């Protein structure tokens, strides 16, 4: 356990940030699962809405530092590519 006051504060701050990052990542996973489910059903209208939401939330997570900016962009790119390919194939 930390003895110095600043170290005690850092522990509290880190715990709060860790909790927030877990919530954000869990929420992102749920959004991505919803997108995948809509794609599996072939419901492109719903999938388009889920894609827009996923893009927004991924960029928000990147802005807050939960995930890296390039990781968010890569995920958005892959989701968009998947959506466009499936829509063109139907």
Helical H runs in 1-90? Answer: 5-41, 44-63, 69-89
pTM of structure: 0.87
Give, as one character, the DSSP assignment of residue 64: T
Report the distance separating Cα 19 and Cα 51, nearest Å: 26
Sole residue written with tokens 């466009």? 84
Residue 90 pLDDT > 80, yes or no?
no
| Whole-number pLDDT of residue 7 | 96
pLDDT at 78: 97
Residues 32 and 69: their CA atoms lie apart, in Å, by: 17
What's the pLDDT score for residue 20?
Answer: 97
* pLDDT tens, position by position, 2-56: 899 999 999 999 999 999 999 999 999 999 999 999 999 999 999 999 999 999 9
- Map out the domains of the chain as residue ranges: 26-89
Place of tokens 């990781």: 71
């Amino acid at each position: 356990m930390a003895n110095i006051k600043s170290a005690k504060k850092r522990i509290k701050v880190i715990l709060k940030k860790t909790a927030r990052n877990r919530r954000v990542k869990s929420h992102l996973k749920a959004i991505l699962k919803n997108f995948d489910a809509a794609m599996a059903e072939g419901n492109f209208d719903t999938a388009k809405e889920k894609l827009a939401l996923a893009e927004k939330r991924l960029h928000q997570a990147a802005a807050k530092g939960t995930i890296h900016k390039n990781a968010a962009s890569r995920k958005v790119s892959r989701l968009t590519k998947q959506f466009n390919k499936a829509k063109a194939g139907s």
